[in-house]
């Protein structure tokens, strides 16, 4: 049993997985959006997410009213988790032995009939790009996409769009994207955007090294220019890699149309993608809109319908999907735009309005945080963000990102930058989410003078307003007293969440990673193994389960409370940890974590949040 625990820190560190180039991230580790369990490997998380989407779709179609939809969303998250943990089926077809890469994600369900040479070629391309370039190269550039829109979007009786819509400029950002994928994006935009609306296509190359993104792409763009004399094709090339924010902003600078749509290059737009977005912006120039991204599988490139959801984030500023606010579902019309706390990297906005509010924070590095920054800025500085279900863009979800081994470094730095500029007294929550010290995180976030001035000049509302009015689902964590590893000073061991799934915390040698992170709240709750960013996710509370039991428990707080278990603890730094209800203490005897009569064992928690609000003890 013990040997198992030894490897955990490494697994947790390895468990951060990115699903979208620009946005959707499912993070695992001490805080996860979809459950309480830590996932040790990337593949399972990706599988979990695809299960999860299928789950959403199935449930969504049968559910009618809002309440059920909310429950369904929760259930589907839980189900996705459970199913993701079941090992893949043992397919022992005769073809199996011809698989050159039996462990490659590319060949899990695709490529059974390929020759060995083709498999090798496909695998090499897959490793380089993170999606199936071999197949992309063989599919028509103008392939048809399945209809994924609500029938009310399609039927002009139910919805019609004004004739005099603003013009649109499309910005495509790319870095070492496959040529056929970019071509298909261009083809779809040209074929599926009304000619009278599409003013320009701006292609921003963030210093790709692929040779065919120069000569071959140039030739293709030339042919498009000849075919489409009314559209301007603008090329922007960076002589060094500048990261997402800068790349998007340089696309914006090159634009002249009324509205800019900033897209990834691994997309195909659906018919009538632009009209619903432009209609919203025409009605109110301060709204920033996002289409719904249908998923294109990285292996077979099939398009999977995505349910429209809000684009949200946690306190580490990883992006995630979430249900809309309850009012949305009361309207019972899935074709209506829904308010969203943030965007996920693909959005459209009035070009001038975006400029007035500061486009994007170009002090961001590489990747991460920029979407959340935009969301908070738009909302607090006078605009709003909406997801528009009638606008659909099919987007390839890569299996892996080819160009950067660990995005979490840039992500953390950018998140702290957003916190410092925008989050006022809540900025410390970002430190907490990244398990950094409460006050001085010691990470260089760059020069924020200009962005601070922007916030003042625009007279933006406080972050507290945003939390209360736009994103009340985010738990403000305002009654936390202490966090970090919790060490028993007498036994010299730490509190650890123990086997997962499971309900028994253990004593273990201190290593201070996810499974040993604890959070102590002013109401006496003590969480082990993580804290949830969202109010709809329950934390796991240390519990005294009953008078005879000597093993402590670790249960969802609400469940434990309903069962009358003791989940509130008295604790003062360097003193005993005593259950308020049973007056028994958490102690360690012979390496065993036990609930017993208090003998005065002392505990110490890593970070204290505010000495001034620290209780005087019992
Ligand atoms: C699964 O496959 C492995 C090797 O391919 C084989 O040894 C094993 O017996 C199979 N298991 C089942 C349940 O078929
Ligand atoms: C492989 O199978 C797919 C469908 O399963 C088919 O479309 C394709 O033509 C086949 N390729 C070869 C080389 O047989
Ligand atoms: C669309 O409009 C038609 C005609 O008014 C109506 O019969 C139909 O129920 C509407 N469809 C939806 C999904 O509202
Ligand atoms: C990428 O950067 C290198 C050196 O910084 C430069 O020589 C090269 O021209 C750049 N490539 C593009 C496509 O701009
Ligand atoms: C546009 O949206 C903003 C932000 O939601 C709102 O304050 C404003 O009143 C709206 N303007 C119009 C003309 O509807
Ligand atoms: C930060 O930027 C501001 C204005 O952009 C500049 O005046 C200031 O000198 C910069 N600070 C540092 C430390 O570079
Ligand atoms: Mn992407």
DSSP state letters, 534-597: BTTSPPEEEEB--SS--S-EEEEHHHHHHTT-B-BEEE-TTS-EEETTT--EEEEETTEEEEES
| Contact criterion met (CB below 8 Å) for 383 and 287 | yes
> What residues does each domain of the chain span?
2-79, 151-396, 480-613
Query: Alpha carbon of 44 to those of 52, 555, 582: distances in Å?
Result: 12, 24, 41
Question: Which atom of ligand 4 is nearest to 208's Cα?
Answer: 13
Report how far ligand 6's centroid is from the alpha carbon of 449 (Å).
6
pLDDT at 534: 96
Question: Residue with the nearest Cα to atom 11 of ligand 6?
Answer: 447
Question: How many residues make up the chain in this entry?
Answer: 618
Neighbours of 606 (CB within 10 A): 18
pLDDT at 40: 30
480-613, CATH topology level:
Trefoil (Acidic Fibroblast Growth Factor, subunit A) (2.80.10)
235 lines ligand 4 (CB under 6 A): no
Tell me the CATH number for domain 151-396.
3.90.550.10
In sequence order, the β-bridge partners of residue 386 are 289, 339
pLDDT at 74: 52
Report how far ligand 2's centroid is from the alpha carbon of 112 (Å).
8
Q: Using only C-alpha atoms, what is the Rg of the chain?
A: 26
160 lines ligand 3 (CB under 6 A): no
Q: Which pair of tokens denotes residue 574? A: 């360097």
384 lines ligand 5 (CB under 6 A): yes
Q: Mean pLDDT for each 10-residue chunk of the chain (618 residues)?
A: 37 27 29 28 38 42 42 49 48 62 94 93 95 98 96 86 96 95 98 97 94 88 97 96 93 98 97 97 98 97 96 95 96 96 96 98 90 98 98 94 75 96 96 89 96 98 98 94 95 94 94 93 95 95 90 95 94 95 96 96 91 47
Closest listed ligand to the CA of 111: 2
pLDDT at 574: 95
Q: Which pair of tokens denotes residue 383? A: 């605009």
pLDDT at 100: 92
Q: Is 479 helix (H, G, I), strand (E, B) or coil?
A: coil
pLDDT at 587: 97
Q: What is the pTM of this model?
A: 0.81
pLDDT at 547: 79
**Which sign does the torsion angle of CA 134, 135, 136, 139 carry?**
positive
339 lines ligand 5 (CB under 6 A): no
pLDDT at 88: 53
- ∠ CA 131-310-17, nearest 5°, is 35
Report how far ligand 2's centroid is from the alpha carbon of 90 (Å).
22
């Amino acid at each position: 049993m013990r040997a198992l625990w030894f490897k955990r820190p490494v697994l947790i560190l390895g468990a951060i997985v990115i699903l979208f180039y620009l946005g959707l991230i499912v993070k695992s580790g001490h805080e996860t959006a979809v459950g309480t369990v830590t996932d040790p490997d990337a593949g399972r998380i990706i599988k979990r997410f695809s299960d999860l989407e299928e789950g959403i779709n199935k449930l969504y179609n049968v559910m009618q009213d809002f309440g059920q939809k909310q429950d369904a969303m929760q259930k589907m998250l839980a189900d996705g988790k459970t199913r993701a943990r079941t090992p893949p089926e043992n397919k022992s077809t005769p073809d199996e032995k011809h698989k050159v890469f039996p462990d490659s994600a590319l060949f899990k369900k695709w490529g059974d009939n390929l020759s060995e040479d083709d498999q090798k070629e496909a695998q090499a391309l897959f490793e380089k790009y993170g999606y199936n370039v071999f197949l992309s190269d063989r599919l028509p550039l103008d392939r048809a996409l399945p209809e994924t829109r609500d029938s009310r979007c399609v039927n002009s009786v139910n919805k019609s769009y004004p004739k005099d819509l603003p013009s649109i400029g499309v910005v495509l950002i790319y870095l070492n994207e496959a040529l056929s994928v970019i071509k298909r994006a261009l083809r779809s935009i040209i074929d599926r955007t009304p000619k009278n609306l599409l003013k320009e296509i701006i292609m921003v190359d963030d210093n790709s090294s692929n040779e065919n993104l120069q000569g071959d792409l140039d030739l293709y763009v030339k042919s498009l220019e000849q075919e489409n004399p009314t559209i301007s094709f603008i090329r922007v090339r960076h002589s060094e890699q500048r990261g997402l924010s800068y790349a998007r902003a340089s696309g914006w600078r090159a634009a002249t149309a009324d509205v800019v749509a900033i897209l990834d290059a691994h997309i195909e737009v659906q018919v009538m993608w632009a009209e619903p977005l432009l209609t919203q912006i025409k009605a109110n120039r301060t709204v920033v809109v996002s289409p719904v991204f249908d998923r294109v599988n990285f292996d077979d490139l099939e398009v999977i319908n995505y349910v429209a959801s809000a684009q949200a984030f946690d306190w580490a500023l990883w992006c995630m999907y979430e249900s809309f606010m309850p009012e949305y579902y009361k309207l019972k019309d899935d074709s209506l735009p829904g308010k969203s706390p943030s965007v996920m990297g693909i959005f459209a906005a009035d070009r001038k309005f975006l400029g007035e509010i500061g486009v994007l924070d170009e002090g961001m590095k590489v990747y991460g945080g920029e979407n959340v920054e935009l969301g908070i800025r738009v909302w607090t500085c006078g605009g709003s963000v909406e997801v528009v279900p009638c606008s659909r863009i099919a987007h390839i979800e890569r299996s892996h990102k080819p160009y950067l081994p660990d995005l979490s470094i840039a992500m953390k730095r950018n998140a702290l930058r957003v916190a410092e500029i925008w989050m006022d007294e809540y900025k410390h929550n970002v430190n907490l989410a990244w398990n950094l010290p409460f006050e001085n995180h010691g990470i260089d976030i760059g020069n924020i003078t200009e962005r601070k001035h922007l916030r003042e000049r625009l007279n933006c509302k406080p972050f507290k307003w945003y939390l209360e009015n736009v994103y009340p689902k985010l738990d403000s964590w305002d009654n936390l007293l202490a966090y970090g590893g919790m060490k028993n000073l007498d036994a010299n061991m730490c509190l650890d969440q123990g086997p997962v799934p499971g309900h028994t915390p253990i004593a273990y040698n201190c290593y201070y990673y996810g499974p040993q992170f604890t959070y102590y709240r002013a109401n006496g709750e003590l969480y082990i193994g993580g804290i949830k960013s969202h109010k709809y996710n329950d934390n796991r509370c240390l519990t005294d389960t009953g008078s005879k039991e000597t093993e402590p428990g670790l249960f969802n707080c609400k469940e434990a409370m309903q069962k009358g278990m003791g989940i509130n603890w008295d604790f003062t730094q360097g003193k005993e940890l005593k259950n308020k209800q049973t007056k028994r203490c958490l102690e360690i005897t012979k390496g065993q974590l036990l609930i017993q009569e208090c003998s005065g064992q002392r505990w110490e928690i890593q970070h204290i949040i505010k000495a001034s609000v620290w209780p005087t003890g019992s």
